[in-house]
Amino acid sequence: MPLVNAKLEDKSLKDKLMIKLSKEDINSDFLEEEKRLDYELALIRKAGLEQYILAFENVLSMAKRNSIPMFVDSLDGEGSLVLYSLGITHRNPLLYNLGFASFLSIERLRIPWFSIICRKEGTHSIYSEMVKQFGEDKVGLIPNGVGLLLNKTGLREPVPSVIDDYTLERHFLVQPKALEQNGIIPVTLDYEQTLEYLVSLENLIKQSTPSFSLDSIPDDDSETFEMLSKGESEGIPLLNDNWIRKCLRILGPSNIDELDALMSLYHNGPTDLIPMYMDAKRGMLPENYQDLQENEQLKRTYGVIVYKEQIIDVLTQIAALSEAEALYYCRALFRGDRDTIDRYEKEFKDRMARFNKNSQYAEKLIDMISQFSSEFYKRKIGFWHTVLTYRLAFIKCHYPVEFSNVMNHM
C-alpha cells in the first residue's frame, strides 16, 4: 500500500537520533538537537513532505534488507538533521554547522530533489519499491534510464507511465524547473561504479577472510590515512589525479572529515580555496585570517568555508541576515547580479559592524563566499562519495593484491 497517511513520529525520530549520537560518542544534553528537529519537522509538515521523505527511508530499508548497496543523495539534504536521523544522509549537520535553509525554509517550501545511487543490478528492485511506496500511478519511468518521475504536492495526480523523449529532453535535461512547475519531481536513479568495485572486492576478500564486510571497515584507520598522506592513491577513481595526490601529500588528512573537505573542494569547487584549507589545517593561515578559526560556524573546517551549506549559517548566525536574505544573496552570486550582491554585501558589513566586528573580518568572509559564485548550485559529489572512496583506500592499504586484481580487470 502507498504511504498515504504516513507520518514522521517525533519520539521515534528523536530516539533514532539519540542512538546515532551515542554510537558516535557525542556527549550532548540533546537540547540543541531537539530544538533543531522540532524546527525541521514543523517545516517538513507545513510543506507536506512527510510521505515523500518516509518513502525514501523505506526504499533504503528495503535495500539494506536485501543487501543492495544504496545511497540517497540530495543537493541540499546534508543540512537536514531529520534526514540524518533517518539514516538517509550520513553526516550530523550540527557538527559542521550545515544550515537547513538550503534544504527547506519558511520562505521557500519547495520539494527537494533526491538521487538514488545503487549498483546496476539493484535498479529494478528499487524502482519496484518506489512504485510500492508511492503507488503505481504516481511513478513514471524515464525511457532512457535516467530515473523516475514522481508527482508533486501530496502525490495526488497520476503521471504517464512513460515520458516521451521530447518532453524529457526539453524539460528534464534542459529545463528541470519547468518540469517541477508542471507538477513532476525528477528522481534520478543512477548506478555508481565505485559500488561495483567495492562489492567485487568484498566477495574476493571473503574467500580468504570470511569475516570481512564493507560495513566492518573502521572509518579511522591510521594506516589508510598514512598511505593517503603520502599521495599513494593510484587506482582510486576520485583520488587518481596527479594534482589531488599532490594535495593529499600537502594536507596529510588524518580523518575522514579532512579527506571529505579536500574532495568536496576539488570536485565540487571552489578549487581556489584548497590552498587556504591546506594552510589552515597546518596552522599556516596568514595572521589576518587566523581569527576565522575561532568562529563557531567554521571551527570544524579550520576557519574556511568548505561546503555551500555553511554559507547560509554564516550569513544568518554571524551577520543576522534572515534565511530569505541569505538565500537571495546566494542566488544573486550564482546569477552574477552585481546590484543585488553589492546591496547585500553592504548590509552584511553594516550588521557586522554593529556586532563590533571590524570591516576586514567581514571582507574576509565575503571573499570566501564569493568564491562559490559559479559553483553554488553545482554539486558533483556528496559525503557518501568520500565514504566509498575511503573504503577503497582501506582495501588498497590492507588488501593490495585483491585491490589490484579487481581494479585492473573491471
pLDDT digits (tens, 9 = 90+) for 320-374: 888 778 878 888 887 788 898 899 888 888 888 887 666 788 888 888 888 887 6
Question: What one-character DSSP code corresponds to residue 75?
Answer: S
Residues pairing with 151 in the sheet: 184
Sheet strand arrangement including 139-141: 70-74, 114-118, 184-191, 147-151, 139-141
Confidence of residue 49 (pLDDT cuts 50, 70, 90): confident
| pLDDT confidence of residue 16 | 84
| pLDDT confidence of residue 256 | 92
CA atoms of 206 and 24, how far apart (whole Å): 28
- State which H helix or E strand residue 147 sits in: strand 147-151
| pLDDT confidence of residue 14 | 80
CA atoms of 247 and 40, how far apart (whole Å): 37
Taking alpha carbons only, the member of 333, 361, 338 closest to residue 348 is 361
| pLDDT confidence of residue 77 | 77
Residues 142-156 have pLDDT tens digits of: 554 444 555 444 444
Per the listing, cell 574476493 goes with 204
Q: Check if the beta carbon of residue 3 is closer than 8 Å to that of residue 134.
A: yes
- Asked if residue 44 has pLDDT above 50, the reply is yes
Higher pLDDT, 64 or 290: 64
| pLDDT confidence of residue 232 | 97
Pairing type for strands 139-141 and 147-151 reads: antiparallel
Collapsed DSSP state (helix, strand, coil) of residue 73: strand
Q: Check if the beta carbon of residue 114 is closer than 8 Å to that of residue 73.
A: yes
Per the listing, cell 585492473 goes with 408
Using a 10 angstrom Cβ sphere, with 0-12 exposed, 13-18 middle and 19 or more buried, the burial of residue 211 is exposed
Using a 10 angstrom Cβ sphere, with 0-12 exposed, 13-18 middle and 19 or more buried, the burial of residue 235 is middle
Average pLDDT over residues 232-244: 96
Q: Which of 59-68, 129-138, 195-204 has the lowest average pLDDT? A: 129-138
Q: Which of 77-86, 257-266, 349-358 has the lowest average pLDDT? A: 349-358
CA atoms of 143 and 141, how far apart (whole Å): 6
| pLDDT confidence of residue 364 | 86
Q: Check if the beta carbon of residue 308 is closer than 8 Å to that of residue 375.
A: yes
Higher pLDDT, 273 or 17: 273
Cα angle for residues 233, 236, 241 (degrees, 5° grid): 70
CA atoms of 333 and 26, how far apart (whole Å): 36
- Asked if residue 10 has pLDDT above 50, the reply is yes
| pLDDT confidence of residue 155 | 41
Confidence of residue 397 (pLDDT cuts 50, 70, 90): very high
Cα-Cα-Cα-Cα dihedral sign, residues 226, 228, 233, 238: positive
Locate 134 and state its grid cell: 508511492
| pLDDT confidence of residue 149 | 53
CA atoms of 393 and 301, how far apart (whole Å): 22
Confidence of residue 175 (pLDDT cuts 50, 70, 90): very low
- Asked if residue 93 has pLDDT above 50, the reply is yes
Q: What is the mean pLDDT of the chain?
A: 80
Q: 238: Cβ–Cβ under 8 A, 6 or more apart, which residues?
A: 194, 244, 263, 267, 381, 385, 389
CA atoms of 261 and 74, how far apart (whole Å): 18
CA atoms of 184 and 227, how far apart (whole Å): 46
| pLDDT confidence of residue 52 | 79
Higher pLDDT, 87 or 171: 87
Locate 100 and state its grid cell: 537547513
Locate 288 and state its grid cell: 589576518
Q: How many contiguous H segments (helices) and E segments (strands) does the chain have?
A: 18, 5
CA atoms of 261 and 301, how far apart (whole Å): 8
Q: Which among 39-53, 270-284, 319-333 has the top mean pLDDT?
A: 270-284
CA atoms of 265 and 159, how far apart (whole Å): 38
The model carries a pTM of 0.81
